[in-house]
Structure 1
């Protein structure tokens, strides 16, 4: 697969703007997209852990699992 097709898949469909960029630019944009998603997930996980940390210990894991399920994995 090419970086352009991988980027289209990540963006959930073809976009006209992708025809205007080169393959190396598409690869760089895809890398930035993945890095941003990882950073966002890490920040969200940290914020959730801080919020759930205010609860008494027996309720933390259960509350996190009920509210967010496996979405943070």
Structure 2
């Protein structure tokens, strides 16, 4: 995709399906995010976003503000 980046977040605190859905909803509500997949078992979220519309720090901060801990992140 032109104008898109992938971000993989390692997240602590996803303990239930409700947590998984909350993280997905928080990320999907950010401008520039086109796709989100949250794996609660692995504790990861993959986000495809437009870096011209949002910064990866905004994605990480949104997850942290929702009460979860971002342990690591990878750009690909």
Higher helix residue share: 1
Q: Normalised by the size of structure 2, how large is the TM-score?
A: 0.27
Higher strand residue share: 2
Compare CA radii of gyration and give the structure with the larger one.
1
Q: Normalised by the size of structure 1, how large is the TM-score?
A: 0.28
